[in-house]
Amino acid sequence: MGDRGRRNLRPQKNHELLLRALARLRPAAPNACLVLVGEGEQRERLEALAGELAIQDRVRFLGPRLDVPELLATFDVYCLSSHYEGLPFSMLEAMAARKPVVATRVLGIREIIRDAETGILVEPDDPDALCGALLRLRQDVALAEKLARAGRHYVETHGRLEQMVDGYAALYTDGRAS
């Protein structure tokens, strides 16, 4: 796994949005937990925010891990709240593990996730929308299973590294031609 998971608690990943969404989710799902894997410059700030939001007992900061596939197996949903992404390998890993995905509608994610088909997209920096999407998957097990199957199918049919690199190269080429 190289150093993945070692420095992912950084501003780009917008973990604050996850914490704020969890705080809003708590009344409807008091047992919901958030698991954050990795280290980084934001850890102390995020731990403090969890305390301010009174959700510190529902947030687990696991630090760097080499057992991500095993961890994914324990999750109900995978959420990526980034401000921007390149190629979100962790999201592809979650899709391959048949986990429904909720993510922000930003470059790098919206090229993979088709809203309500392979995952649910929410606007960045909208904790209410993120909370709503997470609650929707919690309440609609059939939808969560449908998204998990579709995500796995996407990875199986489009997820080969060569195909993804070619797709991104085409995006950048098309972008320059405009």
142 sits in which H/E element: helix 141-158
Domain for residue 4, yes or no? no
Q: With contact defined as beta carbons under 8 Å apart, do 142 and 159 qualify?
A: no
**pTM of the complete model:** 0.86
* Pairwise CA distance, residues 40 & 27, whole Å: 30
Domain range holding 115?
11-177
Kindly report, residue by residue over 103-162, the tens digit of the pLDDT: 999 999 999 999 999 999 999 999 999 999 999 999 999 999 999 999 999 999 986 655
Closest CA to 147 of 85, 76, 84: 76
Q: In total, how many domains does the chain have?
A: 1
**66 falls within a domain:** yes
Query: Is 5 part of a structural domain of the chain?
Result: no
